[in-house]
Amino acid sequence: TEDVDFSPKFNVILTTKNPAAKLTPDLCSRVTLVNFTVTPESLQSQSMSIVLRSEKPELEKQRANLLKLQGEQNVKLRELEEQMLREISA
């Protein structure tokens, strides 16, 4: 690793739509988490995560992996759409 000088006023804001995102304890101790996603769907998803985590942890892991994969595929889809539009317009 390499140390980098930075201003104490420097801030980074990261967002995700993944309700199952997990942060390490080390990261949680250095950041402020704000959850703005309060919709019926997000509440249902969060409740399902809590229940599955306590009753069927393996199923919750599969669910979290599927949500991660879905997010990655959405990003790839957007990249492919943008590439296709660039090629069409060239």
| Per-position b or e across 75-87, b if 16+ CB within 10 A of its CB | eeeeeeeeeeeee
User: What's the whole-model pTM score?
Assistant: 0.51
pLDDT, tens digit (0-9, with 9 covering 90-100), for 38-74: 788 888 888 998 999 999 999 999 998 998 999 899 9
- 3-state secondary structure at position 44: helix
